[in-house]
């Protein structure tokens, strides 16, 4: 009947709205940890040549390969880095994962003093004085943490302070996967 | 933190370009890219440290002779689609581009239906007589 057809069309926005709502809610829950998934996921860690923070020894992207690494971008001027420091220390301690620091846009003395004050659970630190390595990593700022597999492929990126929840739910499972590859 | 500048206002960076063409390309490109740390500012209008770094990267790439598209690819490879002010048309962004249009069409359809309904109401002769009776008292 003509009237029913009109009624039906009038009600069309409702299912459309519900679908839209469902999409938005799903998107919210799916994306809550990964607001902007790294463009580097699945790509090789950017090629770089730098020096180690303490020793001044030359270090390149090749030196990261061969082991699963948790690469953490930090700085003494970064407030949230203090928050995540205990979390990272705990993670390094219990999981024995290789924790590598990138001293990001920081004066060497400031960085070293910070490590003396808060402790140094890292294997070593790369120096990125002007942020060029950061740009190649798609870094927004400090802190950020990357999971890199044995072949130097970026498997996960976390923007912001590391939490036990993120480690447990998002990264640790991946570490298991990549270690068995 | 991040300062929102007026449209067209440029942050002060001391970059020297080989020629005016390079300078013009630089100014155009830094308006195309979103400052990653700021929600709605381009590289030109942001004082954020990362914006400075990216402006410097654009300058360096221009000086190295890269084309505009190569510079866009550079940014995309590192920062993803979010760095472009104008989203690319990909299957993922189809909904983003077309949902306003689709929504508009649905609304138009609904409005049309309402309009038709109003004008299409027709009473039978019997009902018309009843209405007349009721309204002329």
- Report pTM: 0.75
CB contact under 8 A, B80 and A12: no
Residue A13: what pLDDT?
75
Residue B52: what pLDDT?
94
Is residue B65 scored above 50 in pLDDT?
yes
By C-alpha distance, which of A94, A41, A96, A98 is closest to A70? A98
Radius of gyration of chain B (CA): 28
Interface test with B, best of A44, A141, A159 (most B CBs within 10 A): A141
> How is residue A105 written in tokens?
């846009």
Q: Determine phi and psi for A109, rounding to 5 degrees.
A: -65, -40
Residue B1: what pLDDT?
36
Chain A residue with Cα closest to B114 = A10
Strands A49-51, A154-159: pairing is unpaired
CB A180 within 8 A of CB A68: no
Higher pLDDT, B96 or A18: A18
User: What's the average model confidence in pLDDT over A44-61?
Assistant: 97
Average pLDDT over chain B, rounded to an integer: 82
| Span A99-119, pLDDT tens digits | 999 999 999 999 999 999 999
Put simply, the chain B residues between 36 and 55 with a CB less than 8 A from any chain A CB are 36-37, 49-50, 53-54
How close is the nearest chain B Cα to the Cα of A116, in Å? Answer: 26
CB contact under 8 A, A37 and B80: yes
SS3 readout for chain B? CCCCCCCCCCCCCCCCCCCHHHHHHHHHHHHHEECCCCCCCEHHHCCCHHHHHHHHHHHHHHHCCCCHHHHHHHHHHHHCHHHECCCCCCHHHHHHHHHHHHHHHHHHHHHHHHHHHHHHCCCCHHHHHHHHHHHCC
Spatial separation of the C-alpha atoms in residues B88 and A147, rounded to whole Å = 28
Residue B116: what pLDDT?
79
Question: Is the complex ipTM more than 0.85?
Answer: no
Spatial separation of the C-alpha atoms in residues B76 and B62, rounded to whole Å = 16
B79 vs A: CB within 8 A: yes
By C-alpha distance, which of A137, A88, A85 is closest to A111? A85
Residue A30: what pLDDT?
62
């Amino acid at each position: 009947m003509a009237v029913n057809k009109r009624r039906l069309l009038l009600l069309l926005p409702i299912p459309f709205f519900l679908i839209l709502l469902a999409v938005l809610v799903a998107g919210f829950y799916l994306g809550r940890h990964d607001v902007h998934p790294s463009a580097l996921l699945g790509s090789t860690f950017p090629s770089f040549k730098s020096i180690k923070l303490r020793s001044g020894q030359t270090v390149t992207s090749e030196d990261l390969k061969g082991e699963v690494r948790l690469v953490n971008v930090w700085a003494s001027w970064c407030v949230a880095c203090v928050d995540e420091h205990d979390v990272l220390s705990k993670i390094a301690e219990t999981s024995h994962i290789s924790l590598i620091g990138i001293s990001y846009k920081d004066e060497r003395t400031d960085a070293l003093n910070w490590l003396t004050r808060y402790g140094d659970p890292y294997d070593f630190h790369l120096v990125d004085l002007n942020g060029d390595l950061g740009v190649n990593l798609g870094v927004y700022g400090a802190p950020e943490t990357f999971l890199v597999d044995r072949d130097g492929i970026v498997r996960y990126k976390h923007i912001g302070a590391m939490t036990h929840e993120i480690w447990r739910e998002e990264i640790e499972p991946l570490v298991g996967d990549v270690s068995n590859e | 933190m991040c300062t929102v500048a007026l449209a067209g206002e440029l942050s002060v960076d001391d970059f020297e370009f080989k020629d005016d063409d390079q300078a013009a390309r630089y100014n155009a490109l830094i308006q195309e890219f979103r400052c990653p740390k700021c929600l709605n500012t381009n590289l030109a209008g942001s004082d954020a440290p990362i914006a400075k770094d990216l402006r410097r990267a654009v300058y360096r790439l221009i000086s190295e002779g890269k084309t505009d598209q190569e510079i866009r690819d550079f940014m995309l490879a590192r920062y993803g689609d979010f760095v472009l002010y104008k989203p690319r048309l990909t299957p993922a962004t189809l909904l983003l581009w077309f949902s306003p249009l689709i929504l508009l069409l649905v609304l138009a359809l609904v409005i049309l239906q309402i309009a038709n309904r109003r004008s299409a109401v027709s009473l039978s002769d019997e009902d018309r007589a009843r209405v007349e009776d009721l309204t002329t008292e």
